[in-house]
Chains A and B, each alone.
Chain A
Amino acid sequence: MLFNSLTFVVFFVVVVGTYWLLRGWEARKNLLLVASYVFYGAWNPPFALLLFATTALDFYLGSRIAGASTPGTRKAWMWASVASNLSMLGFFKYGNFLLANTQWLLERAGVHYQPPHLDVFLPIGISFYTFHSLSYTLDVYRGVCAPTKSLRDFTLAVSFFPQLVAGPIVRAADFLPQLVSAPALRPGQFGWGLMLMTLGLFQKTVLADTLLSGSADTVFGHGGPLQWLDAWAGVLAFSGQIFFDFAGYSTCAIGAALCLGFHLKDNFRFPYAAVGFSDFWRRWHISLSTFLRDFLYIPLGGNRHGTARSAVNLMLVMFIGGLWHGAAWTFVVWGVIHGVFLVLERLLDWFINKAQINRTRAVQFLVGGGTFVVVCFAWVFFRAADFTTAARLIRAMVGAFPHGDALLGTRELWQVGLVTAGLLFAHSRLRNTSLEAMVATKPRWLVVGVWTVMLCAILLNQDSGNAFIYFQF
């Protein structure tokens, strides 16, 4: 079920209305659990069973980890959880990719191998809910969270519908405590939740789908050389589209959860105003970057074993981060580009005292601009269907085809230019504050005006039932 669909509007009204009408906390949790499975099952009912199987297995393994008498046994149960989750993810998401690469490698070695094509349907949101569930056993193992005794609560923590299919990756350790007692709505919480849902839908349907996706699709779908203006416009359009699409989903999820009395952490913090790559990853898909930091980078040794080892760890994390997004080498290259720049930044830190350099606004502006440009170049690999397309676009961006095709109309160029300028302006203004702090200082008429404009624009986009980009991950 998509947030930007009529079904969801009805679903949400019914669920929220019934939820607050029910008196008992246990009954409310039961309702949320059923609603979450309906939300997921409305896409493909059999895969709801898979979701439950993953959850039940991790519930069991969590209790075995907690009850293990020796460190070795604890570790064995933890690895059992990691193996089961990653195997399932690997089968559904990476099966054909692995087979194709095995075939390629064997052919290099002179062995002919024709792998079967696995006709596998990717369960929506599998990358997200696998991590939701896995975070529980890993946190129980790390001693960060005690195991829950309620399968119902854990099942709800993994499947809570606002964040189920496209994040944020809410850790069980952050969600389970909120299920202990009934949340009380603070003044304004419901209204602010609705405001966030409006903002999220506006980002998705108006900014991403209506104003940017067409230009990005045209440029990335073109099979020939194109002019630098079109290449840049297409890449900027995608840079904006992916932010508004994904941040829009997260904002909706946070808003929907607030309406139900739950608190989810931010997943984006104005990333295009990042000064440097480590700053970017503190602002972009925060729930994934902290997941990879806590469960991969730090266990690998983090930065505790010298610069070289730290660089290797970073590259490995970004390699896996890239692969998490999709079973293609283009995603890996995207991750590796980020990894390389993270490492370069560390090395630069080693030679130069960054704190001193970063003191001036001019330098911050330049480094921030440079970061954005490199991030845009990296998005080319993320969005392009193959390396040929990516290479052609990169060449076009640096002006290699002065007589290439002019693809976009003047109106589309203006749309991309204005939305990108607005996006960068908003991010740079808000980089050191929060949306909540900014809104609190604005006059009421302005808040109502902006809210109304967003609602009207969403209504005008009633044809935009497009799936969120991150659903495919």
Chain B
Amino acid sequence: MPSSTSNFDFRRVIPDLPWRRLALTAALLTAVAAVAWEVRARRLGYAPTHNDTSDFWAQERRKVQPDSIVVIGDSRAIFDVDLDALEQSLGKRPVQLALPGTCAYPILADLVADEKFHGTVIASLLPALWLAPEGSPIDESLAALKRFRTQTAAQRASHELALLLEQNLACLKQEDLTLKQLLKRIEIKNRPGALVAPKLPPYFQTTDRDRRMRMAEACAKPGPLQDRVKFGWLELFQPPPPPSWIPKEEFMKAVGLAVEQRFKDTAATVKKLQARGGKVIFVRFPHTGEVKKIEDQATPRAGPWDRIIRESGAPGIYYSDYPELSGFDCPEWSHLSAADSVEFTKRLAPHLQRAMAAGR
């Protein structure tokens, strides 16, 4: 009988090759290729920066204290808000929890669900995203929250290691330089009618340890990159086609009900936080050019913005209401340049201070 005290007779076959030499050669060649790729990335204009992953978001979410100032919303809240400038004015460093391309309502609901939280939430209100009934804007927010709730010690450790590597290597830019992203650059014509999602424009931004994003200089000045980003938005800012298997009227009715519910939920959530001394301040960030035309047409200010402010009772800062906030140009129609974002935040801060002081 084979026993635990006998010798095990199964041995894996080892191919008869000089494995040590082969391993060292492969490692050396890989190292050479990695260095070459890093040099190439830097020549393309990339610099070391952090990747905005769900682990990064979860790390920042853990920083929220009961009286924190928290920034939530879409990419405008993350590009256009300078945390240093805000800290200087508000006396407290805000926690950056905005997520590009997402609906921030689930994030707000999660913050408010914490009965201890009575801080201030600065929320970018881009109506098309805030009211998104389903799909990627909601899924991404929920995924970030799930990571926050379930993040393991191993995932935290991996994130810390990634931060160390990312601050030294430019080629680790996940949005542009992974195999998946490189494959997406291959231009092959799709079948007529194929429901392929539009490509995200390259952000070409840097991200620091506080998840503060800054637009890269190459994007801030006129040129091919700026054009790629600009015109990339146009397709993305169009609503997706309704599903083919549900009658259009039925679908639009369901969307209408979901949007209606979001209005109600937003108002209820804001009031719940207000009731325990917290505050939500909605901000409409600058946007220009064709993006502004599309947004003004689809979600005019008199529509969702006014209604959310009215029903929630929350203070709202609409950039175009104030001359000092409205003169900024968005190089790619949707976000401010890094330099302008600092100036914009400095000018926004007094409005935020007034909104925070109101009602106290």
What residues of chain A have their CB less than 8 Å away from a CB belonging to chain B? 1-2, 5-8, 10, 41-45, 143-148, 153, 172-181, 186-192, 194-195, 206, 210-211, 214, 223-225, 254, 258, 263-265, 404-411, 414-415, 434, 436-437, 439-440, 444, 447-448, 451-452, 455-457, 459-465
Tell me if A145 and B2 are in contact (CB < 8 A): yes
Q: Identify B8's interface contact among A44, A178, A405, CB under 8 A.
A: A178
**Known contacts A7-B158, A42-B152, A43-B154; is-contact A188 B3 (Cβ 8 Å):** no
Question: Closest CB-CB distance, A263 to chain B, in whole Å?
Answer: 5
**Residue-by-residue, is B142-184 near A (CB-CB < 8 Å gives 1, otherwise 0)?**
0000000000111101100110010000001010011110111
Query: What residues of B have a CB within 8 angstroms of the CB of A457 in the complex?
Result: 179
Cα separation A180 to B8 with both chains bound (whole Å): 9
Instruction: Give CA–CA (A264, B12) in the complex, Å.
Output: 8
Q: Is the CB of B17 within 8 A of A439?
A: yes
Check A440–B15 contact: CB distance below 8 A: yes
> Is the pair A452, B30 in contact by a Cβ cutoff of 8 Å?
yes
In the complex, the 4 A-B pairs of residues with the closest C-beta atoms, listed nearest first: A191-B19, A224-B245, A146-B3, A177-B8
- The complex places the Cα of A192 from the Cα of B14 at a distance, in Å, of 7
In the bound complex, how far is the Cα of B12 from the Cα of A342, in angstroms? 30
Check: B1 CB closer than 8 A to any chain A CB: yes
Chain B CB within 10 A, most for which of A1, A437, A448: A448
B103-111, B124-132, B190-198, B316-324: which lies at the interface: B190-198
Q: Are A6 and B243 in contact (CB under 8 A)?
A: no
Q: Pick the contact of A456 from B13, B34, B184, B244 — CB < 8 Å? A: B34
- Whether B17 and A465, one on each chain, are in contact in the complex, defined by CB atoms closer than 8 angstroms, is no
Are B158 and A406 within 8 A (Cβ)? no
Choose the segment among B21-29, B206-214, B264-272, B298-306 that binds chain A (4+ C-beta atoms closer than 8 Å): B21-29
B337 contacts partner chain A, Cβ-Cβ < 8 Å: no
A414–B179 Cα gap in the complex (Å)?
15
CB pair A223–B157 under 8 Å, yes or no, is no
Pick the residue among B153, B178, B196 that contacts A409 (CB under 8 A): B196
* Nearest-CB residue, chain A, relative to B23: A191
Chain B contributes a number of interface residues (CB within 8 A of A) equal to 62
Given A191-B22, A415-B183, A2 and B29 touching (CB < 8 A)? Answer: no
Beyond A415-B183, A440-B17, A452-B26, list 10 extra A-B contacts (CB 8 Å): A7-B154, A8-B154, A172-B4, A176-B4, A187-B19, A223-B243, A439-B17, A448-B25, A456-B34, A465-B158
Q: Which residues of A contact B297 (CB under 8 A)?
A: none
Contact residues in A for B34 (Cβ distance below 8 Å): 456, 459
15 contacts between A and B (CB under 8 A): A2-B154, A5-B154, A5-B155, A10-B157, A146-B5, A147-B4, A177-B7, A178-B8, A186-B14, A191-B19, A405-B244, A448-B26, A452-B29, A455-B26, A460-B178
Complex partner residue of A411 from B30, B157, B174, B184, CB under 8 angstroms: B184
Q: Which residue of A lies closest to B246 (CB)?
A: A224
Quick check: B1 and A145 within 8 Å, CB to CB? yes
How long is the Cα–Cα vector from A279 to B29 in the complex, in angstroms? 40
Instruction: Report yes or no: B30 in contact with A177, Cβ–Cβ below 8 A.
Output: no
Which residues on A sit within 8 Å (CB–CB) of B190?
A: 409-410
Task: Please tell me if the beta carbons of A146 and B188 are within 8 angstroms of each other in the complex.
Answer: no
Q: Is the CB of B3 within 8 A of A195?
A: no
- When chains A and B are docked, how far (Å) is the Cα of A206 from the Cα of B183? 12
- Most chain B CB inside 10 Å of its own CB: which residue of A41, A177, A186: A177
**Within 8 Å of chain A (Cβ to Cβ): is B250?**
no
A439 contacts B194, C-beta separation under 8 Å = no
Q: Are A263 and B195 in contact (CB under 8 A)?
A: no
Assuming the contacts A10-B161, A405-B195, A408-B196, asked whether A1 and B154 have C-beta atoms less than 8 A apart, the reply is yes
Given the complex of chains A and B, what is the CA–CA distance between A42 and B155 in angstroms? Answer: 8
Asked if B162 and A6 make an inter-chain contact with CB atoms under 8 angstroms apart, the answer reads: yes
- Least Cβ–Cβ distance between A393 and chain B, in angstroms: 14
Is B341 an interface position by the 8 A CB rule?
no
For residue B16, CB closer than 8 A to chain A, the reply is: yes
Taking a contact as CB atoms under 8 Å apart, the answer to whether A188 and B18 are in contact is yes
In contact, B30 and A43 (Cβ under 8 angstroms) = no
* Residues of chain A with a CB closer than 8 A to B162's CB: 6, 462
A187-B14, A437-B13 known; A463 vs B178 contact (CB < 8 Å)? yes
- A210:B180 contact, CB within 8 angstroms: yes
Interface residues of B in 184-232 (CB under 8 A from A): 184, 186, 188-191, 193-196
Q: Is the CB of B10 within 8 A of A265?
A: yes
Asked, given contacts A1-B154, A410-B191, A411-B184, whether A145 binds B4 with beta carbons under 8 Å apart, the answer is yes
For A7, list chain B residues within 8 Å (CB). Answer: 154-155, 157-158, 161
- Output the nearest chain A residue to B1 by Cβ-Cβ distance: A143
* In the complex, residue of chain B having the shortest beta-carbon distance to the beta carbon of A457: B179
